[in-house]
Amino acid sequence: MHDLIKECVFRNDKEQFNNIEDKAIGFADRYIGSGVIIQDDIFNIIKNYEQDVNLLLFPIPDDEICGFICNYKGKLFIYVNTNLPLEKQIFTAAHELYHLLFNRDQLENGYSHMIKQDDLDGKQEERTANLFAALLLVPRTLLKEQIEILKIDPAKLNLLDIIRLMDVFAVPYKTMILRLYETGFLRDKDADKWLQVPDRDENEGVLYEIRKHEIGLRWQERTRIIKYGNLKALIMDNNDEELIPKAKAEKDLSYIQKSMEEVFEEIGEKIE
């Protein structure tokens, strides 16, 4: 049996699963609204939830680095690597939202956390944050509703059906398989079978079918967007730190990019 099934919270601790699902539903009801499929609105949700949080979007050519959340000199930062496919950027943002919501005391005391690819695949200490992200992005009621709308028959489920659901919710393949398993749409052996399908191979499996049928291509885009959050203003106002000359900051964003890279390097050293 695939490790993601053997180790998932749903299989091993139903009480914890229900608790995390309640948290995801409660957050969605209060800050998003019922019946809303989030997709890439997750970035605006984070910014609107707490405007003092600096959401940084910036490409790093390393697929192992997904993002991080940290308290840096009294300021909260969430970083997402925009060199990743957009579906993974979305999941990373939702994962870090969990830490923002439920690890706030630790963050205020200097807690920092970096998420790497292994964490997205179900590393033990990050299961709770992964589960919250999946439940928030793919709510049970909306998943069942979309299965009915798309007329997907569990007895005739095929890879294209799963890809269509991935396109609706803008989540990675493994996330969708686990949500189908957690909602009872897939049994253990069926989920295990689907998890054996290659998901990032350009010559077979999920990514190959996505490109062949041109379904969900936008979520595979490596956007490489650069957004500085409040960092530009913070740098310009930070006379004591003298990260860059104030006049230059207004005219030349390359200075800010250089400062960001220095911040990332310092944060990375502290986190790792």
Whether residues 148 and 244 fall in one domain: no
Q: With a cut of 70, list the residues of the chain below it in pLDDT.
A: 108-125, 230-272
CA separation for the pair 61, 59 (Å, rounded): 6
Domain boundary among 210, 227, 244: 227
pLDDT value, residue 249: 43
Whether residues 201 and 245 fall in one domain: no
Whether residues 242 and 214 fall in one domain: no
Asked if residue 149 lies in contact with residue 141, where contact means CB atoms within 8 angstroms, the answer is no
Whether residues 198 and 215 fall in one domain: yes
pLDDT value, residue 42: 98
CA separation for the pair 113, 69 (Å, rounded): 5
pLDDT value, residue 257: 55
CA atoms within 13 A on the CB side of 8: 26
pLDDT value, residue 74: 78
Whether residues 185 and 243 fall in one domain: no
Whether residues 144 and 45 fall in one domain: yes
Whether residues 108 and 236 fall in one domain: no
Whether residues 35 and 78 fall in one domain: yes
Whether residues 144 and 258 fall in one domain: no
Whether residues 119 and 179 fall in one domain: yes
Asked if residue 173 lies in contact with residue 162, where contact means CB atoms within 8 angstroms, the answer is yes
Boundaries of domain holding 272:
231-272
The domain total for the chain is 2
pLDDT value, residue 271: 43
pLDDT value, residue 233: 62
pLDDT one-digit tens code per residue, 178-191: 999 999 999 999 99
Whether residues 183 and 260 fall in one domain: no
Whether residues 54 and 177 fall in one domain: yes
